[in-house]
Copies of this chain bind each other. A is one copy, B any other.
């Protein structure tokens, strides 16, 4: 049906779901075709609000994403969902989450769900996730929910692509589990204590408050029972700092989910008011540019090396006949001397970005 990728972007922008699915697959695989597609779609991005949802298995994260999606649908908003499982191809967590969602959200044309598992490096996954977010954004989804498991560096990297990051906790997962999750303070804009009808929910809230009090980057903490309205009245902190509120939810019954949704909006408004939205957009753009440049530079180097040369050098390094630093320097010197032939594939220069071309390059 889609013989040419040239027609994919217009079809996707016209709302064709099969074109959307095919585009995501191409973008996940990477390569020049994917880059051309992303370049065509990029002018249509920037309208979707990206919400990251992360938490350990057992916190009911998938159910919460499901419930949150329903409250957005009640408001008439469309939702794209990306379920990322960076830890393992074996855990099946993403698939299970999908099955739950499929049952509730199947057939709703305002919802699109995509699962992504780790392929190769973590950096690759973070980049692929950012690219799929851009595709869903271009396709016109009002809210894009990115669900990840755990709170390792994978989540920190992927959180960089979200406007608002929600960390989901639940009572009764044990103090040792809480300990490993201390890193969440770095990425959490909101905390959801899900399964809040269970014993120990208040203990979990208190543990989070204590962590907030102990963290060097945050001063003080606030009550868990504070409502969205109260927080809005308080007008935020004098220095524009944001203390991540802790919201109790019972996702299976939809309790607290509308409140969580409202908090997402409050946080989004806070980002705009304080100029942090602009900062985050800039950081994200710089990171994306840097990723692309690194990949493309390496590809250009490999294209100019004789076939098998990198393997030959690696074998010499492995046998301790060469040190990797000197070997890399020699490869680079040869590459830069030979690079005079210019870029090996034709540039796709767009008129509106011509002004970006560097005029005074220091050599």
The reply on A180 being an interface residue by CB < 8 A is yes
Contact pick for A57, options B125, B180, B348, CB 8 Å: B180
Q: Tell me the interface secondary structure of chain A in the complex.
A: helix
Contact indicator B341/A339 (Cβ below 8 Å):
no
Chain A, 76-135, CB within 8 A of any chain B CB: 86-91, 93, 118, 121-123, 125
Are B322 and A35 interface neighbours, CB within 8 A? no
Q: Are B317 and A45 in contact (CB under 8 A)?
A: no
The distance in angstroms between the C-alpha atoms of A322 and B45, with both chains bound, is 11
Chain B CB within 8 A of A46 CB? yes
Q: Sample 7 A-B pairs with CB under 8 A, ordered by A number.
A: A56-B180, A58-B176, A87-B151, A152-B152, A282-B314, A294-B298, A303-B362
Taking a contact as CB atoms closer than 8 A, the residue among B177, B215, B296, B328 that contacts A289 in the complex is B328
Residues of B near A282 (CB, < 8 A) are 314-315, 318
> A297 at interface (Cβ–Cβ under 8 A)?
yes
- Please choose the segment from A67-75, A265-273, A329-337 that sits at the chain B interface, where 4 or more of its residues have CB less than 8 A away: A329-337
A119 to B149: give the CA distance in the assembly, Å.
Answer: 22
CB neighbours (8 Å) of A303 from chain B are: 362
Contact of A349 among B123, B330, B352 (CB under 8 A): B330
Are A87 and B333 neighbours in the complex by a CB distance under 8 Å?
no
Whether the pair A290, B298 counts as a contact (CB closer than 8 A) is yes
Given contacts A285-B317, A294-B297, list 11 more A-B pairs with CB under 8 A: A39-B323, A90-B214, A122-B157, A150-B152, A278-B318, A286-B314, A288-B317, A292-B324, A293-B331, A305-B358, A322-B350
Nearest CB to that of A177 among chain B residues?
B177
Chain B contacts for A290, CB-based, 8 A: 298, 310
User: What are the 7 closest A-B residue pairs judged by CB atoms, nearest first?
Assistant: A88-B183, A42-B323, A152-B152, A58-B176, A122-B153, A286-B314, A285-B317
A350–B305 Cα distance when bound, in Å, is 20
For A211, what are the chain B residues with a Cβ–Cβ distance below 8 Å? 90
Would you call A325 and B153 a contact (CB within 8 A)? no
Interface residues of A, CB < 8 Å — how many?
A: 113
A45 to B324, CA, bound (A): 12
Give residues 116-175 of A contacting B (CB, 8 Å): 118, 121-123, 125, 149-154, 157, 173-174
Residues of B near A304 (CB, < 8 A) are 361-363
Give A35 to B323 CA distance when docked, in angstroms.
Answer: 10
Residue of B nearest to A152 (CB): B152
A176 to B150, CA, bound (A): 12
| Residues in B whose Cβ lies below 8 Å from that of A324 | 38, 42, 285, 288-289, 292
Q: Does residue A343 face the partner (Cβ distance < 8 Å to B)? A: yes
> Is A230 interfacial (CB-CB < 8 Å)?
no
- Given A296-B329, A328-B289, A361-B304: A342 and B338 interface contact (C-beta under 8 Å): no
User: Do the beta carbons of A183 and B87 come within 8 Å of each other?
Assistant: yes
Q: Out of B57, B118, B357, which one reaches A334, CB within 8 Å?
A: B357
| Complex interface: chain B residues within 8 A of A45 (CB) | 320
Known: A185-B90, A312-B356, A358-B309. A347 touches B333 (CB 8 A): yes
Instruction: Report A253 CB to chain B, min CB distance, Å.
Output: 21
A278 to B278, CA, bound (A): 49
Contacting A152 at CB < 8 Å: which of B93, B153, B340, B343?
B153
Q: Determine whether A311 belongs to the interface, using a CB cutoff of 8 Å to chain B.
A: yes
CA–CA, A341 and B362, complex, Å: 10
A43 within 8 A of B: yes
